[in-house]
Amino acid sequence: MPIARVRTTFSGAAGSPWLSTAYFEVTAPYTANLEVAAVGAFWGTVDAAIEGGVSWTTGSEVLILDETDGDPLAVVSVTPATGSGGGSTEGAPTLLQGLMRWRTGSFVDGREVRGRWFVPGLAESVLVDGLLEGATQTTWNTAATTYIATAGISPVVWQRPRAADTVYDRETGVPTTISARVGSMHPIISGSTTSRFSPLRSRRD
């Protein structure tokens, strides 16, 4: 099955640009602009907590990938969604990023497949005693519910394909064989945030 990738880029503050990636099942009739609009609606709600100097935009193209191996299949031109932070205070330290957690209820290799979106560029005003304030958490959770329920889209978490490999225990040197695994997509059933911040130290794409 093909999957669609929608990217959002954040810029305008130290440490940027930042990248966020959303995946969708491609179903008929397919309209990539619906997916872009849903992603834009989510960030358009969440960005009230982002400092005013930060802007965001989705890409002008949606990439269609093969679910099993990640190979590109097609590119669809779309109208980007754009926005900017609505926070009126200075930005919090870059390491303090919000976290949206996506649950699927689907298991691979004995573990639930879960997704994460980081919310960068937060304004200091949403910090209370070193945590994300409750009102902002409520707003983000509502935005997540709305995103999942948006008509015409099928948001998923993509479990990436994995090649067979052998890893060695650092202490004993005993090898463990990791079997190959094809990629698979898993429908998102819920999303929620947390009061704690989650720094994104690196990004694999």
Nearest to 32 by CA among 67, 65, 71: 65
In the beta sheet, which residues pair with residue 56? 10, 83
Of 41-55, 174-188, 190-204, the range with the lowest mean pLDDT is 190-204
Over residues 159-190, the pLDDT tens digits come to 999 888 888 888 888 888 878 889 999 999 99
Over residues 60-118, the pLDDT tens digits come to 999 999 999 999 999 999 999 999 998 777 777 777 789 999 999 999 989 999 999 99
- To the question of pTM greater than 0.75 for the whole model, the response is yes
pLDDT above 50 for 203: no
Of 10-19, 40-49, 140-149, the range with the lowest mean pLDDT is 10-19
Dist CA 136 CA 91 (whole Å): 16
Both tokens of 80, joined, read 């980007």
Over residues 111-153, the pLDDT tens digits come to 999 999 999 989 888 888 888 889 999 999 999 999 999 999 9
Residue 98's SS3 state is strand
